[in-house]
Homo-oligomer: A and B are copies of this chain.
Amino acid sequence: MQKERGMTKKAKKTILITGGNGFTGRHACRYFAGQGFHVISVVRSAGIENHDIQTEICELTNAEETSKLIQRVKPEYILHLAGQSNAGESWSQPISYMESNVMATLFLLEAIRIHAPSCKVVITGSILQYPLKESILPPHPYSLSKTLQIFASKSWANYFDLNIVIAKPTNLIGPGPSTGVCSILAKRVAEFEKTGKNDVLTNMDLQAKRVFLDVRDAIRAYHQLFLIGGQGKEYDVSFGTEATVGEAASILSSLAAVKFFVPEGVHEEKLSSLTRTGSKEFNCTSTIPLEQSLADTLDYFRNL
């Protein structure tokens, strides 16, 4: 029998992490393995397995494949990160977003209901999911898919007495294959450094405010939700640093080995729904300052 740190493998709790090869997924696999869990990463297709982590290939939009996986693994915990998350792309593939974000989640919950009913599940919603109101429709198909995903998941928790907790993360940043605003900026800075080309950094809206949270801090929060999260309850994971895109760009500028132009004009604006809404019910604090997150992100693109 395989022994690890004096524990038999069986004694370890099994956590299944869907989207295990994604931006958050890679960090999550590493973190939970470090915390002594038996981690199984679930990825969509062969060739993107996680290094050093047991990987299962499963197309979660296929109910039967998903059911067989859960029946076989019977995990104690599931961190459900898989899904599609590009609002722009959702306009041209709205059905795919509904299948990946809504139905795949329900296939997973249904598999749990049947094969692992005491499993604790943390589902990551999105700060772009909308409050459900008759009069307000979500602004794009991605937002619709996240809104319905979370509403249906809470309903499932209620109907079938399942241990489902919802995490609503804000803008997660940090090293890795993210397509978020900080990664776009850091990637461009790394290009400047390589090519020596001195250009305008970005034509993004530098005054847009965000709550930036390091992905590694978010994962600590998800871990806490496995321990204290209430059934069917929703938790904002938005305890990061409030800053404008311009402020993030300025920090990256100060870290860069080359000089480049960051447009001026960082004004106060009315905070949008993207900013933090408070999370009194559980207490997580940011341990990684914005500067460190950005430095790590820049290093990631430098070494890519």
Contact = CB atoms under 8 A, between A and B. Distances in A.
Interface of A: 63, 91, 94-95, 98-99, 102-103, 106-107, 110, 131-134, 137-138, 140-141, 144, 148, 151-152, 154-156, 158-159
A155 B131 contact: no
A110 B137 contact: no
A106 to B, nearest CB: 6
A103 B156 CA distance: 17
A102 B106 CA distance: 12
B137 A98 contact: no
Contacts of A91: 159
- Majority secondary structure, A binding face: helix
B152 A140 contact: no
B63 A95 contact: yes
Contact of A144 (B99, B140, B144, B152): B152
B95 A107 contact: yes
Q: Which of A134, A137, A155, A159 has the most CB of B within 10 A?
A: A155
B133 A155 contact: no
23 contacts: A94-B106, A94-B156, A94-B159, A95-B107, A95-B110, A98-B102, A98-B106, A98-B152, A102-B102, A103-B103, A132-B132, A133-B133, A137-B151, A137-B154, A137-B155, A137-B158, A138-B155, A140-B159, A141-B155, A141-B159, A144-B152, A148-B148, A148-B152
Contact of A103 (B98, B132, B137): B98
Nearest to A157: B137
Given A102-B148, A144-B155, 17 more contacts: A63-B95, A91-B159, A94-B106, A94-B110, A94-B159, A95-B110, A98-B102, A98-B103, A98-B106, A132-B132, A132-B133, A137-B151, A137-B158, A141-B155, A141-B159, A144-B152, A148-B148
A152 B103 CA distance: 13
A191 to B, nearest CB: 35
A164 to B, nearest CB: 12
A159 B143 CA distance: 12
Contacts of A154: 137
Contacts of A107: 95
Given A95-B110, A106-B95, A152-B148, A131 B134 contact: yes
Nearest to A141: B159
Nearest to A91: B159
Contacts of A144: 152, 155
Nearest to A234: B134
A99 B155 CA distance: 16
Nearest to A135: B132
A12 to B, nearest CB: 31
A151 B133 CA distance: 9
A111 to B, nearest CB: 10
A180 to B, nearest CB: 24
